Amino acid sequence: MGQGMGLDRDAIRPDWAVLIVAVSARGDRAAFAELFAFFAPRIKSFMLRSGESEVQAEELAQEAMLMVWRKAALFDPAGASASAWIFTIARNLRIDAKRRTRRESALVAGDVDDEFHIDEAPLPDARLAETQTEANVRNALAQLPPDQLRVVEMSFFQDRPHAEIADALKIPLGTVKSRLRLAMRRLRSLLGEET
């Protein structure tokens, strides 16, 4: 089908932000199913790579998609990208799940959300910088050398990033630390910030 247009269909993804807005505006179930088909298996993959069991990863992926439905009205299309917004939902659920398995408290996921909420009063230029972030970050990530990108990516899945990444990539710990530091510095400078 896609070939007729001279386009690689695989490369075209729906505009996730539009689908989230459709869920928010009119409880659009078809839009939700489309979001589910793409994100649920990736959230499950994220949870498995984060060390969750198969059962837990499945449950958290379903729970995260339920949150996408419930919180759709909080999604700001002018702010973070859809995938970043869904990432934060999955991240917060994982933190909450870890606390619950340790039976440390009866907190619910909403508390974790509060812990990431900053009452911001940014200056006008800072606000601008924050909304420009998505495109800039894509560019910045694309400009990182592959070995640095690899350690950045892996740092999302490990609680003790340095040692475990060194193990997985079979490179010395010092190399991991310097690659991560270089990558993060580079990211920060590519985003036009002072270092």
Is the Cβ of residue 4 or residue 119 nearer to another protein in the bound state?
A: 119
Residues 171-190 within binding reach of another protein (CB under 8 A): 180-181, 184-185, 187-188
Among 4, 119, 146, 170, binds another protein (CB under 8 A): 119
Among 46, 52, 97, 109, binds another protein (CB under 8 A): 46
Residue 33 lies near another protein (rule: CB under 8 A): yes
Is the Cβ of residue 6 or residue 160 nearer to another protein in the bound state?
A: 160
Among 7, 30, 66, 173, binds another protein (CB under 8 A): 66
Residue 74 lies near another protein (rule: CB under 8 A): yes
If you compute the radius of gyration of the chain from its CA atoms, what whole number of angstroms results? Answer: 19
- Which span sits near another protein by CB under 8 A: 1-9, 37-45, 165-173? 37-45
Residue closest to 29 by CA, chosen among 64, 63, 68, 75? 68
In contact, 62 and 40? CB cutoff 8 Å? yes
Residue 178 tokens read as: 């310097």
DSSP calls for 123-154: -HHHHHHHHTHHHHHHHHHHHS-HHHHHHHHH
Residue 97 lies near another protein (rule: CB under 8 A): no
- Enumerate the H helices of the chain as residue ranges: 16-26, 29-49, 54-71, 82-101, 109-116, 124-131, 133-143, 146-154, 161-169, 173-190
Among 84, 108, 163, 173, binds another protein (CB under 8 A): 84
- Which span sits near another protein by CB under 8 A: 4-12, 93-101, 167-175? 93-101
